[in-house]
Amino acid sequence: EPEVTQTPSHQVTQMGQEVILRCVPISNHLYFYWYRQILGQKVEFLVSFYNNEISEKSEIFDDQFSVERPDGSNFTLKIRSTKLEDSAMYFCASSEARVGQPQHFGDGTRLSIL
Amino acid sequence: KNEVEQSPQNLTAQEGEFITINCSYSVGISALHWLQQHPGGGIVSLFMLSSGKKKHGRLIATINIQEKHSSLHITASHPRDSAVYICAVEGGTDKLIFGTGTRLQVFP
């Protein structure tokens, strides 16, 4: 069964450094998402992406964050200057349609900011 | 106030028991999702429903749109069912709004 893959599984970065989290969505999916989960808290929506542009973003997704689909397969989340509070598990998801279809999640990237 | 509330927060069961996890929401929705988060962190979609009831193996999900309530049932629970079960709703936009999850432990 096709799956969403995320790399790396764990990223350790110094505060202030840039980090790029990578995702390969399911190939025929058109809608892409990033979520984050701070340790011990619920999953929170960051951003959705369709047709090479952001379709919705949350208050968390400030100017430090950006997303890109640089080629036909990868979907990336960049954090420009990481802060301690960016430490979290970041999940990528994809779906066939905007609403009414299940979202398929990757296994997540655990980001640790030192 | 959270838009999606789950109960209980923690649940312990003996193998074979029937389990119910509840989800209430306060927003209008187009669909509700039940997800399973494994101890390692990965998230798996179990059900997506907008009305009625769905069944997959030992799992059953129901939703009552009028009462803004959904339940996830596990019949004949097994230790491998131990995980965090998360309810999430689609409010007609792209994003999913998540509950805080129910941590289930099933002991042999």
Lowest-confidence pick of A13-17, A101-105, B11-15: A101-105
Distance from CA of A83 to the nearest CA of B (A): 22
A40 vs B: CB within 8 A: no
Nearest Cα residue in chain A from B51: A100
Number of other CB atoms surrounding residue B12 within 10 Å: 12
Once rounded to an integer, what is the mean pLDDT over residues A16-36? 95
Render pLDDT for B88-100 as a digit per residue (tens, 0 to 9).
Answer: 999 877 788 999 9
CB A44 within 8 A of CB A106: no
Candidates B40, B90, B98; nearest CB to A43: B98
**Distance between CA atoms of B74 and B62, rounded to whole angstroms?**
12
Q: Are A63 and A3 spatial neighbours (Cβ–Cβ below 8 Å)? A: no
Summarised one tens digit per residue, pLDDT across range A39-69 is 999 999 999 999 889 999 999 999 999 999 9
Helix (H, G, I), strand (E, B) or coil at A52: coil
Contacts (Cβ under 8 Å, ≥6 apart) of A27? A2, A73
For residue A100, is pLDDT > 90? Answer: no
Query: Which stretches in chain B have pLDDT values below 50?
Result: none
Residues of chain A with pLDDT > 70, as a percent, come to 98
Handedness of CA A52, A57, A62, A65 (dihedral sign): negative
- Backbone phi and psi for residue A112, each to the nearest 5 degrees, phi listed first: -120, 120
Task: Quote the CA–CA distance of A43 and B2 in Å, as a whole number.
Answer: 13
Residue partners of A45: CB distance under 8 A and separation at least 6: A33, A35, A56, A58, B95, B96, B97, B98
Would you call B35 and A105 a contact, using CB atoms and an 8 Å cutoff?
A: yes
Q: Other C-beta atoms within 10 Å of B63: how many?
A: 22
Nearest Cα neighbor of B71 from B5, B14, B12 is B5
